[in-house]
Chains A and B, each alone.
Chain A
């Protein structure tokens, strides 16, 4: 981890009609860190992720900088091309495709993804096999390799979460926004997921920004935690300090 930020958010907001879901949020995430984002239900965490990834448009004003580039005007796929991956709270997979195909579609810049190269199998098959090996390794680590031939509309919610994580990791992103990666996953596997996240960070230096309700697991692995409440960031600190802070309980208990 360096002190250099990979993500710089400055004063962004989002309202839905009258509801101010995100209100003037500024934060920075350090390159190579694992950063947590917590807060009670409806505090605007997922909306903040949507604004960062471009799935939703922020209100005018404020800025988002990723890896040294201004990204707030870019469409979502351009942001992802720069190396920003994400998962969704309610898993979004491709229901008409198998788990393997879902994982294989993730890597960007595949040769066979161009329409006029696609009919020429020899041009892309080598890359395909390489990616398939990586996919198998990835899926085995997340224990979903047995499901490879199942349609993603046929697997359980927890398995969907894992499949989504496996997709996101296949992209080799610089930073990953994970929205509740362990919700609906067995407790033992939740530990393993965070272990893989930590390994990934050490091996490849990937930055993780994670929304999580399982604080006990999250706090074991993160460097920094942001606490969100009613659309604002109310605290930023190390996990040890956060748990001691009275404001956390207040936010969660709604006092």
Chain B
């Protein structure tokens, strides 16, 4: 829901601001003509296209944050934990239905397209050929990877701090945390806002990457993929999430490649089968994990602060949890 919201807001802001900044008429952003004018503006004005991109990201994050704050009210009030899943599912579906049926929001069912990467103008300076399209996209992908690393480092810093400890305590036992003067509702609200800001950012980045924001991108099967990533890696573990995202993205890309390969051998085969197969494999992975390894592949790690040095002194690695394996930080679902 927050991801989708970020996408729609980012795309709308971009579509409105590009012509505005370059002095062209804004007009109806859903028109095919406006799409073409967006592309030509992005090609002609490097400064405008980069700054509009930054503003679009900021708005997407803002929208995500506000939505997260709004959603935290029902989230804090539910009586059973599975009611929350229910409410989030309802929220996501509501978002999809509203976007699909309201032409005023993100151009409704057809979606809003013609959102080029912020480096589209580079193709002016490149010789024509395949490189002309690949370099701006590749550069943008690199920027996404950098931002993903940034988010990861931020999350790691937060987790290895007194705040990380606070988060874990609130998760483990609300009553005990309250008895220690922790404002559980406030902490939950904060973390929901932080999470949805990140999701909003990811949504806008994604839309800029694929060039179009359509409601069909927010089907539950995708959210499901993200759950599998989380549980696969170990869901209280940032590195675990990276590992999970890496595996699932490999599965995704692998299924694409094998799909192309299969199609060249069996031209009659429906290429959708590969996508279906991938969703099925994800479901099986999740079930197997839930039954056999609920903690995920990597165990939860300690909150690493200096406090341990007072105790660990003179001992070598007396930790119960082993050091997790390094994973190349490039598993972000939105990168290619």
**Direct interface between A and B, CB < 8 A:** yes
In the complex, are the beta carbons of B306 and A118 less than 8 A apart? no
C-alpha gap A113/B157 in the complex (Å): 12
- Of A96, A114, A121, which is within 8 A of B168 by CB? A96
Q: For B178, what are the chain A residues with a Cβ–Cβ distance below 8 Å?
A: 54-55, 75-77, 80
- Residues of A within 8 Å of B320, CB to CB, are 98, 149-151, 154
Say if the beta carbon of A133 comes within 8 Å of chain B: yes
A148: interface (CB < 8 Å) = yes
A101 touches B306 (CB 8 A): no
- B174-206 interface with A by 8 A CB criterion: 175-184, 190-191, 194
A85 within 8 A of B: yes
* B163 engages A53 (CB within 8 Å): no
- The answer to whether A114 touches B163, judged by C-beta atoms less than 8 angstroms apart, is yes
Q: Using a Cβ–Cβ cut-off of 8 Å, how many residues does chain A contribute to the interface with B? A: 52
Cα A95 to Cα B172 with chains together (Å):
6
Interface size range of chain B in the complex: 35 or more
Interface contact tally, CB-CB below 8 A: 140
Q: Are B307 and A128 in contact (CB under 8 A)?
A: yes
Given the complex of chains A and B, what is the CA–CA distance between A108 and B169 in angstroms?
13
A135's closest neighbor in chain B, by CB?
A: B307
Interface string of B292-336 (1 = CB under 8 A from A): 000000001011011110111000001110000000000000000
Task: Kindly report which residue of chain B lies nearest to residue A177, judged by CB atoms.
Answer: B179
CB contact between B162 and one of A81, A128, A167 (< 8 Å): that residue: A128
Which B residues are CB-close (under 8 A) to A104?
162, 165, 305, 307
Tell me which of A95, A108, A154 contacts B181 (CB under 8 A).
A108
The smallest C-beta distance from B129 to any residue of chain A, in angstroms, reads: 44
For A54, A96, A171, the residue with the greatest tally of chain B CB atoms inside 10 Å of its CB is A96
- Shortest C-beta distance, A124 to chain B (Å), equals 6
Partner of A128, one of B175, B180, B302, B305: B305
Tell which of A95, A101, A114, A121 touches B165, judged by Cβ atoms closer than 8 Å: A101
Q: What is the 8 Å Cβ interface bit string for chain A, positions 99-111, against chain B (1 contact, 0 not)?
A: 0111011101011
**In the assembled complex, which residues on chain B have CB atoms less than 8 Å from the CB atom of A119?**
154, 157-158, 161
Residues of the A chain whose Cβ atoms lie less than 8 Å from the Cβ of B154: 119
Alpha-carbon separation in the docked complex, A92 to B164 (Å): 19
- Cβ of A115 and Cβ of B190 under 8 Å apart? yes
Residue A252 interfacial (CB < 8 Å): no
CB contacts (< 8 Å) of B161 on chain A: these are 112, 118-119, 121, 124
Q: Are B300 and A94 in contact (CB under 8 A)?
A: no
Q: List B residues 253-309 near A (Cβ within 8 Å).
A: 300, 302-303, 305-308
Q: In the docked arrangement, what's the CA distance between A88 and B190, Å?
A: 28
- Minimum Cβ distance to chain A for residue B124 (Å): 39
- Decide: A93 and B173 in contact? CB cutoff 8 A: yes
Task: Tell me if B166 counts as interface (CB < 8 A to partner A).
Answer: yes
B307-A131 in contact (CB<8A):
yes
Residues of A within 8 A of B163 (CB): 112-115, 117-118
Supply 12 A–B pairs (Cβ within 8 Å), ascending by A.
A77-B180, A85-B179, A85-B180, A97-B168, A105-B165, A108-B182, A117-B163, A118-B158, A119-B161, A132-B310, A154-B320, A171-B180
